[in-house]
Amino acid sequence: MRALVMTAPGGAANSLVQEVGEPEPGPGQVTVDVAYAGLNFVDVMTRRGDAAYATDWPHRPGKEVSGTVRALGEGVTGLAVGDRVVAAPVGAGLAEAVVAEAALTVPLPDAVGLREAAAVPLGLATALLLLTDAGHFTAGDTVLVHSAGGGIGHALAQLVPLLGGGRLIGTVGRPDKASAVLASGYRHAFARDEDDEKLAEAVRTATGGRGVDLVLDPLGTETLDLDLAVAAPGARIVLFGNAGGGAVADLPPLARLMAGNLSVTGFSHRGLAATAPDRLARAVRRVVGLLADGGLELPVTELPGLAAVPAAHDAMEERRATGKYVVRVGG
Ligand SMILES: NC(=O)c1ccc[n+]([C@@H]2O[C@H](COP(=O)([O-])OP(=O)(O)OC[C@H]3O[C@@H](n4cnc5c(N)ncnc54)[C@H](OP(=O)(O)O)[C@@H]3O)[C@@H](O)[C@H]2O)c1
């Protein structure tokens, strides 16, 4: 079968579509024939060689797929060969078939298309968990999202109205991405090319001086001072990435958190998949339900095949990409 293989850390030149062996499910696992796979920034961080992603090379990327169950491993119940599913494999999902834990494989109702479903196991589930479990979002909250123009940013714009509505403020690395952010449902979009004080002032003004209730920040600690500067009393700041890949600073002094009744917390999809798969699967099921009801629609850009993925990873790495990308793999 064919799969995307990252041969060594680097750029697109090291990402090749190659013939690889067919995967076999172990106990508690299933093999999924992949119809569509989602692209995620973690693939880019991995190929860049960021610490703690790929431990050996060549590496097989891909952490979210939709498709049909091809085979069941020992002890798997509740799933059958031929079921339409979404799954969050540990990796290797950018391939014609992949093995995933049955605990992280969720059946799809007929009403949900395989194309849109490929954005669920990592992208949409992460966006939901950032708002709910990690961010304690309540209807009416003002939410500041950094890197709002990407897959997670767009997913958040779809989910906030379904959770009761709120005021979304996004930041982007390049001014030309602001229009896509506004079109996706954000009320304000600011480029991070200004100095932090001017940006903080713009965010405060956008909130009538009150500040934001929730910050969703995938930028390591690059913008943590800004987050603290615009946090309303009682705000939650969720750190969920390190897009720049550099060293991260210490967390803020206790006194600053106590004075503002602020909380800073972390979120990791990979951590949840490893330690609390039931919580992750619950989020996947909830998102699938929202898609089936017709309440949730996430526009996706479809790539025609695995060979198109390295160029899309380039666009993500160079900050040119907007929205969510999925690749058509099988029938
Ligand atoms: N913790 C978790 O479990 C988890 C799960 C999913 C995603 N994430 C994180 O959430 C973020 C969004 O993920 P996504 O898959 O939807 O990707 P994405 O937003 O489609 O693409 C990544 C974005 O990161 C921003 N970025 C900031 N600094 C960058 C740098 N130095 N180099 C390249 N890009 C940079 C760029 O947007 P701007 O320039 O506009 O900021 C870029 O478009 C990523 O940082 C990802 O790692 C975390």
- CA distances (Å), origin 120, targets 96, 106, 211, 247: 18, 10, 31, 30
Q: Which atom of ligand 1 is nearest to the CA of 269?
A: 3
- Report the candidate in 69, 129, 56, 128 with the shortest Cα–Cα distance to residue 101: 69
Domain ranges of the chain: 2-119+298-328, 125-268
Amino acid 249: pLDDT:
93
Nearest CA to ligand 1 atom 42: 319
- CA distances (Å), origin 178, targets 4, 19, 146, 153: 32, 40, 12, 12
Pairwise CA distance, residues 4 & 85, whole Å:
21
User: Does the C-beta of 273 come closer than 6 Å to ligand 1?
Assistant: no
Which residues pair with residue 248 across a beta bridge? none
Token look-up 């798997």 returns 76
Reading the chain (331 residues) residue by residue, the pLDDT tens digits are 999 999 999 999 999 999 999 999 999 999 999 999 999 999 999 999 998 899 899 999 999 999 999 999 999 999 999 999 999 999 999 999 999 999 999 999 999 999 999 999 999 999 999 999 999 999 999 999 999 999 999 999 999 999 999 999 999 999 999 999 999 999 999 999 878 899 999 999 999 999 999 999 999 999 999 999 999 999 999 999 999 999 999 988 899 999 999 999 999 999 999 999 999 999 999 999 999 999 999 999 999 999 999 999 999 999 999 999 999 999 6
For the domain bounded by 2-119+298-328, which CATH number is listed? 3.90.180.10
| Burial class for 180, CB neighbours closer than 10 Å (0-12, 13-18, 19+) | buried
What is the CA(233)–ligand 1 centre distance, in A?
27
Q: Which atom of ligand 1 is nearest to the CA of 266?
A: 1
What is the CA(79)–ligand 1 centre distance, in A?
33
Amino acid 331: pLDDT:
67
Pairwise CA distance, residues 47 & 116, whole Å:
25
Q: What tokens does 104 get?
A: 């992280």
With the C-alpha atoms ordered 28, 31, 37, 42, is the resulting torsion angle positive or negative?
positive
What is the CA(304)–ligand 1 centre distance, in A?
23
H or E element: which one contains 95?
none
Q: State the CB neighbour count (10 A cutoff) for residue 4.
A: 26
Cα angle: 225, vertex 228, 231; to 5 degrees? 150
User: Does the C-beta of 105 come closer than 6 Å to ligand 1?
Assistant: no
- CA distances (Å), origin 127, targets 68, 262, 284, 290: 24, 21, 11, 13
Q: State the CB neighbour count (10 A cutoff) for residue 245.
A: 14
Q: SS3 for 265?
A: strand
Q: Report which DSSP code applies to 253.
A: P
Peptide bond into 58 cis (omega under 30): yes
The answer to whether 209 touches 138, Cβ cutoff 8 Å, is: no
Q: How many residues does the chain have?
A: 331
Amino acid 197: pLDDT:
92
Which residues pair with residue 214 across a beta bridge? 143, 236
**Residue type, position 90, single letter:** V
User: What topology is assigned to 125-268 in CATH?
Assistant: Rossmann fold (3.40.50)
Which residues pair with residue 328 across a beta bridge? 36
Backbone angles phi, psi at 214, to 5 degrees: -145, 135
User: Does the C-beta of 119 come closer than 6 Å to ligand 1?
Assistant: no
Probe target for ligand 1 pocket from 46, 152, 184, with the most ligand atoms within 8 Å of CB: 152
Record the pTM. Answer: 0.98
What is the CA(107)–ligand 1 centre distance, in A?
28
Virtual torsion, Cα 243, 105, 116, 97, nearest 10 deg: 90
Nearest CA to ligand 1 atom 10: 218
Amino acid 55: pLDDT:
86
Amino acid 252: pLDDT:
87
With the C-alpha atoms ordered 286, 288, 289, 295, is the resulting torsion angle positive or negative?
positive
User: Does the C-beta of 173 come closer than 6 Å to ligand 1?
Assistant: yes
H or E element: which one contains 87?
strand 84-87
Q: SS3 for 67?
A: strand
Pairwise CA distance, residues 153 & 139, whole Å:
18
The answer to whether 15 touches 94, Cβ cutoff 8 Å, is: no
**Residue type, position 324, single letter:** K
Nearest CA to ligand 1 atom 11: 218
Render 297-313 in DSSP notation, one character per residue: ---EEEESSGGGHHHHH
User: Does the C-beta of 190 come closer than 6 Å to ligand 1?
Assistant: no
